Structure 1
Amino acid sequence: MKLMKDEIETRRTFAIISHPDAGKTTLTEKLLLFGGAIREAGTVKGRKNSKHAMSDWMEIEKQRGISVTSSVLEFQYDGYHVNILDTPGHEDFSEDTYRTLTAADSATMLIDAAKGVEAQTKKLFKVCKMRGIPIFTFMNKLDRQGRDPFELMEELENLLGIRSYPVGWPIGMGQSFKAVYDRHHKKLELYNPDNPKDIDIISLSGPDDPKLDEVINDEGLVAQFREELELLDVAGDDFDVDLIARGELTPIFFGSAISSFGVQTFLQHFLSLSPAPTVRESTIGPIDPKTREAFSGFIFKVQANMNAKHRDRVAFLRITSGRFKRGMSVKHVRTNKPLKLSQPTQFLAQNRSIVEEACAGDIIGLFDPGTFRIGDTLVEGEAFEFDEMPHFSPEHFAAITVKEALKHKSYEKGLQQLTEEGAIQLFRTYNKYVEQQIVGVVGVLQFEVLEHRLKGEYNVDIQLERQPFSFARWIDGPSKALATLKEKQRNLVTDREGRLVALFENEFQMRTAQDKYPELTFYENSFYKKSII
């Protein structure tokens, strides 16, 4: 049996971040192919006549051709145990992505070489940057005409504030795309447009090797490549492992995920450069997986109805220290109760298998009868909690009602479960005579998902009536000031914990209320104080 430290060193847990349509789901599936986890990849486009993407398991994802929830995918490759956190690219589901990034030790930033850094990539990069995790860049779609590689590198620095080091460098692009040169291993990966999966790798003594002229057979392209490489060597950033580890320098790889070109090379470099499970901050100080033997972990995602036949709910746990064993007893810190973990699973999207043991860095699923919430900490021994999960104020609101009164029980169950997943935030109007439920979401497409899932998973039809609000602020302060607010302020609601929240149509209304009640504090999220149960 491997020592714990040795096992941890083989773990790689990372997220893939990108703007929609950059090819993220395709890249994920190609990594799974190289890991032997699947035999063929689904395609994202033309879905009516093809397999659905392996990581898109929810019915609405198959219909719309987008990822709307994070998937966990696990496979083995070359002695490494790899956990991919495949996140939604669409900005309307960014909150799920932000939470998922807390479970990752590094990130792969996928960029469309024709479009460069796009809006959603920029947002997600900022979250990674705040956490200080290593970021690896894959410039995708080199087989299509794209932007100049130097221009793409400059954009990384200007828009994202990160320096870059190209591990590989392309020869040509689009119709003239010929190969990618591996600067570290001095190898040439040749692109065959007629059969992209047929990849020849040729060892060279360096960029001046005459073999390069023979295999490329394009004097102009080879001359341009040598000039560019010389410029990189003279003016480019040096390769620095420490800067990469701190997230200050991103290694760049070039390729085409749809044709599998450059993906395996990227995977091999990534596994050697990316970190094993890292230290996590907690209420008792840093938790180091390499020195702490006691088990600990946190819930970063709750997902209902992954298996439509069983209507079950799964809580995703990131193990942060120690060894997990099936059937072990731990402390659920929020409730201060012991808990037996008897049905742990590991994932390949919606497919799952029972796991007997796991260690720091691994992601496991726990059967959830309604016990877990996002951010919960599970520990052996001394109780503590990890840093709070990112949580965002909703920006779109709708009053929600059930169309058939006889289905009210199923409706309430569905709302409760989707709220606990973090897919929506549910509020009730602060009025003892007329109670209305209001749903708050970060992106408007979440309303469509809510309607679709309540119908498909709970057989409930709903009516949504959009509300004019744009801001929600949680309010706390002296009792007297709160009492005055409750009497005079319009559009007050309570969240699922009974905390007071004010809804505002615009920033002017919000500032006016803050000026009117200076003794009260208006918080952007619900984590200004933790619920004690």
Structure 2
Amino acid sequence: MASNVSPEQDGLPSIETATSSDPVKQRRAEIARRRSFGIIAHPDAGKTTLTEKILLYSGRIEEAGAVRGRKTQRAARSDWMKMEQERGISVTATCLCFDYDGYRLNLLDTPGHQDFSEDTYRTLNAVDTAVMVVDAVNGIESQTIKLFKICAERKIPIITFVNKMDRPGGDPLRVLTDIENVLGIDAIPVNWPIGTGRDFNGLVDRLANEVIKFSPVLRGAHEVPVERAAMDDAANCPFPPEIMDHVRDEVSLLEGAGVPFQNELFLKGNQTPVFFGSALTNFGVEQFLQGFVRLAPPPSPRMSDQGLIDPTNPNFTGLVFKIQANLDPRHHDRVAFVRVCSGRFERDMEVTISRTGERLRIPRSHQLFAAERETVDEAYPGDVIGIVNPGKLRLGDTICGGKPLQYRGRWEYAPERFVRLRCADTSKRKQFTRGVTQLIEEGAVQLLSDGGTTLHEPTLGAVGELQFDVVQFRLASEYNAQTTVDRLPFQMGRWIETPNFDVDKYTLPSGSRVMYDQTGAPLLLFADDWSMDYFLRRHPDVKLSEHRPEV
């Protein structure tokens, strides 16, 4: 394990130079102190609880909430939508911008439930680092594997937080083995737990060669009193000698059997630094946050149709990775979440939408904190800003201050559930149509047609069943339109990548159907795996895809 990792990476200056009067140095210094990251985890691993505690230690909130099913529990700040608060689940990605120790952090909090994984997949287009939360008892779980594969595909470096070390059954060595065997990357512990379950009350800081003891008296408070001592300082060590003997044996085993941390391998996604702790009790959260801001890379170059674009490029570019309707329900507004990728954003600037070539002036821009907004006059690469979308922006759009270019990314994923949506109250037809249009624009669901379908009774596709519940809930609460759904007998959809596909020339299995998404791309709907396999055996010349090709 390396003794330290500098935040000065890729030649960027340290954050201490961020007050320079030179505009170029100022921009580079601002880039150097940005950290943009998302948190990925299996449901119930503690992702949202960790998010709340990070906000607590940054001073952005004064009291942390937690995701709970009980209505009496204070709602987590990152779960701002009414349905999230009522059900105790995260159903939409949100942005939380805040400062910590001189760094500007843009935390993109994503849903953990697999039914809302589309939102998570899209959001990962906008981050430079992923924080993987692992349950110390359950280890690597199915949704973690799916999200890890997305990060690996996009070469996003991962920092791991092993949560719930205070629960009985947690085994840190087993978790490290799990990460290495299941995910295929080296797990490098930055710290090491002293005790597990009810006996977990301290950490070994391997970088500082210190032991840290947490006070069990104020569990749940913001400031958890700690005692520190050097590993070899027996006189001042807060732990009994027999415990320290065992801890030294474990740390010696790690030193002998482990591989050294290499920053280059971490940035390539071949190693993950691992922190241990308990988000619920605050044990290890501050140590994790301090380590994160120094290990996580600043904004990196991004691939476009014109090659890699460096964040230090003076021309402003931004990527629209999320669109959210009704952040302010009173005005039924639409906000586009934009990741600044290069240059410097200035409020009231005029940009080009690369997809259409249309010019767009941005008089209103906001820094986001869940549903809260503050006017922001400038932003730098790594920042996420919200701009009011007049209906001209789509998911995946690139906006540019200079010569137009298009960033690459994947924005639509194969639906697995299908319904026909109905609104029986004809007096609510206008609200129904407007609501469906905005929810489709967000990417909450996909609109499918057979060539002549209108929004009167739209056919919708989604990755998970709960997405339809969200659509119905939001249509009722935000647009006052009550709806019903008819489930359709399809279990998967696949885009057809074969050019000039003519459905009349192919034999479809019984119960299958060809439809078209909102862009006009053909999509084959199958009743089950057997039907798809049968079709591919009969027509080996047809190429199917689980996601729409990159923009």
Equivalent residues in 2 for 1:113-512, closer than 5 Å = 113-196=136-219, 197=221, 199-205=224-230, 207-211=231-235, 214-217=237-240, 219-290=241-312, 292-430=313-451, 437-475=458-496, 481-482=502-503, 484=505, 491-512=513-534
**Match for residue 93 of structure 1 among 90, 110, 116:** 116
SS of the residue aligned with 2:373?
A: strand
Q: TM-score, normalised by structure 1?
A: 0.93
Cα shift at 1:130:
1.4
Equivalent residues in 2 for 1:40-59, closer than 5 Å = 40-45=63-68, 47-59=70-82
SS of the residue aligned with 1:157?
A: helix
Relative to structure 1, the CA distance from residue 339 to residue 524 in structure 2 (aligned partners, 3 Å threshold; closer, same or farther) is: same
2:431–2:481 contact (8 Å) kept in structure 1: yes
Cα shift at 1:101:
0.8
Distance 2:279 2:215 in 1: 14
SS of the residue aligned with 1:204?
A: strand
SS of the residue aligned with 2:245?
A: helix
Q: Which structure 1 residue ranges, 5 or more long, are not aligned?
A: none
Tell me what 1:9 maps to: 32
Query: Partner letter of residue 373 of structure 1?
Result: R
Cα shift at 1:480:
8.4
Distance 1:455 1:435 in 2: 17
Report which stretch shifted further, 408-417 or 504-513. Answer: 504-513
Query: Partner letter of residue 172 of structure 2?
Result: P
Cα shift at 1:311:
1.4
Tell me what 2:46 maps to: 23
Relative to structure 1, the CA distance from residue 433 to residue 91 in structure 2 (aligned partners, 3 Å threshold; closer, same or farther) is: closer
1:486–1:492 contact (8 Å) kept in structure 2: no
Cα shift at 1:46:
5.8
Relative to structure 1, the CA distance from residue 19 to residue 350 in structure 2 (aligned partners, 3 Å threshold; closer, same or farther) is: same
Query: Partner letter of residue 333 of structure 1?
Result: S
Relative to structure 1, the CA distance from residue 525 to residue 221 in structure 2 (aligned partners, 3 Å threshold; closer, same or farther) is: same
Cα shift at 1:431:
6.0
Cα shift at 1:381:
1.9
1:374–1:389 contact (8 Å) kept in structure 2: no
Cα shift at 1:142:
1.7
Query: Partner letter of residue 102 of structure 2?
Result: G
Tell me what 2:15 maps to: none
Describe the superposition over 1:444-484 as per-residue Cα deviations: whole angstroms up to 9, x where unpaired.
11111111111111111111111111222334656584554
Relative to structure 1, the CA distance from residue 452 to residue 171 in structure 2 (aligned partners, 3 Å threshold; closer, same or farther) is: same
SS of the residue aligned with 1:17?
A: strand
Tell me what 2:3 maps to: none
SS of the residue aligned with 2:71?
A: helix
SS of the residue aligned with 1:400?
A: strand
Relative to structure 1, the CA distance from residue 470 to residue 35 in structure 2 (aligned partners, 3 Å threshold; closer, same or farther) is: same
Q: TM-score, normalised by structure 2?
A: 0.90
SS of the residue aligned with 1:145?
A: coil
Relative to structure 1, the CA distance from residue 517 to residue 345 in structure 2 (aligned partners, 3 Å threshold; closer, same or farther) is: same
Report which stretch shifted further, 34-43 or 488-497. Answer: 488-497
Q: How many aligned positions are there?
A: 525
Distance 1:122 1:504 in 2: 26
Tell me what 1:32 maps to: 55
Distance 1:138 1:177 in 2: 15
Report which stretch shifted further, 241-250 or 424-433. Answer: 424-433
Matching of residue 102 in structure 1 with residue 128 in structure 2: no
Cα shift at 1:138:
0.8
Relative to structure 1, the CA distance from residue 267 to residue 169 in structure 2 (aligned partners, 3 Å threshold; closer, same or farther) is: same
Cα shift at 1:153:
0.5
Query: Partner letter of residue 321 of structure 2?
Result: F
Relative to structure 1, the CA distance from residue 46 to residue 387 in structure 2 (aligned partners, 3 Å threshold; closer, same or farther) is: closer
SS of the residue aligned with 2:549?
A: helix
Distance 2:75 2:85 in 1: 6
Distance 2:256 2:373 in 1: 50
Q: Which structure 2 residue ranges, 5 or more long, are not aligned?
A: 1-18, 21-25
Report which stretch shifted further, 224-233 or 399-408. Answer: 399-408
- Percent identity over the alignment? 43
Cα shift at 1:157:
0.4
Distance 2:380 2:161 in 1: 29
1:473–1:503 contact (8 Å) kept in structure 2: yes
Cα shift at 1:332:
0.3
Relative to structure 1, the CA distance from residue 432 to residue 216 in structure 2 (aligned partners, 3 Å threshold; closer, same or farther) is: closer
SS of the residue aligned with 2:303?
A: coil
Relative to structure 1, the CA distance from residue 203 to residue 422 in structure 2 (aligned partners, 3 Å threshold; closer, same or farther) is: same
Cα shift at 1:491:
2.5
Relative to structure 1, the CA distance from residue 507 to residue 296 in structure 2 (aligned partners, 3 Å threshold; closer, same or farther) is: same
Query: Partner letter of residue 287 of structure 1?
Result: I
